[in-house]
Homo-oligomer: A and B are copies of this chain.
Amino acid sequence: MLNPRPTSPELHVNLDALIANYSWFCAQAPNSKTGVALKANAYGIGMDAVGPALLEAGCTVFFVAHISEGVRLRRLLGSAPLIYVLHGAATGEVEVMLAHRLYPVLNSRPQIALWRNDGAGAPAALHVDTGMNRTGLPFAELPETKFDELNLQMIMSHLACAATPEHPLNEIQRDRFLQVTRQFPGIAASFCNSAGVLLGDEYHFDLTRIGIGLFGASPLHASLPPPPLTPVARIQAPIIQLKTVSKSETVGYGGTFCAPGAMQIAILAYGYADGLPRSVGATSFGWVGKTPTSILGRVSMDLTVVDVSQVKKPLEIGDHIEFLGPDLDAFAQSCNGEAYEILTSISPRVKRVYKREAS
């Protein structure tokens, strides 16, 4: 009897590649500390594996969005690293923050007041909105806001248009952020996400916050050449059935694909409930080695059909078709999307499998 083979999709993660990408970003900003953003379950890749791997690689500053993510990360990393919670603290969360030594990013006067009153003098960061118009204390409110009795360890802002280096807002935001940092001398300043690091030294300040680049996707607009990052993630979608369709037969819901001739098809246990977007085009690719296959018809909730007529290697049930890798950005574009959303959409039904040669 054959060994059991997976019947559900798996996400294979190369942690060595992830660390290589982290090191690459460290080298781009050698005079700054390189922090990482592991919100949204480390961009869908899995905080439980990614957090400890980055800690081991020397990372000491971590960012999450929600307090629940911070609590989980603290348990994974032990007491040493700094963990900032980007959404800040709300009423009722202060005790949990203090108990787990999570530092809130204070985004507004109400958050500042809350931490001043209830934060017991524990460290916090201040986020000033220099033009993103999302979270953060509005730049215009800075002069009239009081920061007394706060133990500020870090000042940050967030770039809106770093993916497009020539966008004028980048420099406008940088000029404003320089004014902010002058108001807080001696306090660490953090400005750059992955794309921001690529804008050059004058954007780096003291601490960066690398997210998407860790996972091998380009942080730049799709029209720009990507930085030399290493692919980290690929989906292995198992074949659960192989069959032939005849000329003029249709495939899948709505009968949207009509076979131009006899075709060999593979039915994969991988669908949009696993995170393969329904918007993926027929031009998209699942790979068998270096041979591309096309998706036929609509992606179903739990199943997808691909054309394997061109695959020379004899396929068997239990073999897999590979998605996402080797070019996550190209895959995302074929879905009319971005790598960010492709990664965070990988559902919990997809088993994460981590590979680490170093350990």
Chain A residues packing against B (C-beta within 8 Å)? 1-5, 7-8, 39-41, 43-44, 65-68, 86-88, 90-93, 107-108, 110, 129, 131-135, 138, 160-161, 163-164, 167, 169, 240-241, 243-245, 249-255, 265, 267, 269, 271-273, 277-279, 297, 300-303, 305, 317-318, 336-338, 340-341, 344-345, 347-349
Contact = CB atoms under 8 A, between A and B. Distances in A.
A163 B254 contact: yes
B301 A39 contact: yes
A340 B302 CA distance: 11
B305 A133 contact: yes
Contacts of A91: 1-5, 318
Contacts of A303: 65, 134-135
Contacts of A267: 134-135
A278 B241 contact: no
Nearest to A299: B341
Nearest to A140: B246
Top 6 nearest A-B pairs by Cβ distance? A4-B92, A40-B273, A65-B302, A273-B344, A133-B251, A7-B90
Nearest to A246: B140
A280 to B, nearest CB: 11
Q: Give chain A's interface secondary structure class.
A: loop
A255 B221 CA distance: 13
Given A160-B250, A241-B135, A169 B255 contact: yes
B317 A90 contact: yes
A107 B267 CA distance: 11
Nearest to A65: B302
A164 to B, nearest CB: 7
B161 A253 contact: yes
Contacts of A68: 8, 349
A91 to B, nearest CB: 5
Contact of A131 (B163, B250, B337, B344): B250
18 contacts: A4-B92, A5-B91, A7-B90, A39-B273, A43-B273, A65-B302, A87-B240, A90-B318, A131-B249, A132-B252, A132-B253, A133-B265, A134-B300, A134-B303, A169-B250, A169-B255, A272-B340, A277-B341
Contacts of A108: 241, 243, 317
A8 B252 CA distance: 37
A87 B269 contact: yes
Contacts of A131: 249-250
Nearest to A275: B345
Contacts of A278: 337-338, 341
Contact of A302 (B39, B161, B244, B305): B39
Given A39-B273, A129-B243, A132-B251, 10 more contacts: A41-B273, A68-B349, A133-B265, A134-B252, A134-B305, A135-B303, A161-B255, A169-B250, A278-B337, A279-B337
A73 to B, nearest CB: 14
